[in-house]
Amino acid sequence: MDNSFLAYIQQLELIAFFSGYPLVYTAVLLIATNLRLKNNYPDKAGRLLPLAYALVGTLFLGFELKKLYPDYSIENIKHTIQLPYLVVWGLLANFFWIPALGKKKILSLLHGLVFLLLIIRDLSQLLTAADDSNILKNDMKVCLSSIVLNLAAVTIILLVSFLYSRYKKAPQAANRH
């Protein structure tokens, strides 16, 4: 990994979008297994987790396109993207919109763990070296933002799913009367 400031900023961007997902994933599944509500919303949230992750991936794609605007040339992309493998890995989250992949919750978790490992790597580097603790503080602040973003994505996907199921049931209820 390049140790430049721009690479560090790009790492923080990736952490901001994706590192909170494994924590949100774990929290939602714990709620789903421990709280069995009559209306199955925790179970539904568990099934919709990959779609929420895909939404975050789509937001990341938009962020990257905005950063590259107005020059989408290969040279500008090479100059702007400091961590190309991690950026491509982050963009792969968009594949969870595909229904076959969207049903594989564990794949979305494994995908998100890569970004959580960036924080763990920074933590281990700080424990073994006498570096400045600002890196860890930045990572934690950005990770908290990522948790909020991923919770918002889960909430949005749940809300859209709820509204869609209500809309779908409304014509059936009208036909019964």
pLDDT at 17: 97
Q: What are 153-173's pLDDT values in tens digits?
A: 999 999 999 899 888 887 766
Residue 112: how many other CB atoms lie within 10 Å: 26
Q: How far apart are CA 3 and CA 131, in angstroms?
A: 14
Q: Which amino acid is at 10?
A: Q
Give pTM, 2 decimals.
0.87
Reply yes or no on whether the pLDDT at 42 is more than 80.
Answer: no
Reply yes or no on whether the pLDDT at 133 is more than 80.
Answer: no
For 19-104, where are the alpha helices, taking DSSP H only? 21-34, 41-68, 74-80, 84-91, 99-102
Give the closest residue to 55 by CA, choosing from 96, 103, 11, 101: 96
- Of 9-13, 88-92, 126-130, the one with minimum mean pLDDT is 126-130
Q: What are 63-104's pLDDT values in tens digits?
A: 999 999 999 999 999 999 999 999 999 999 999 999 999 998
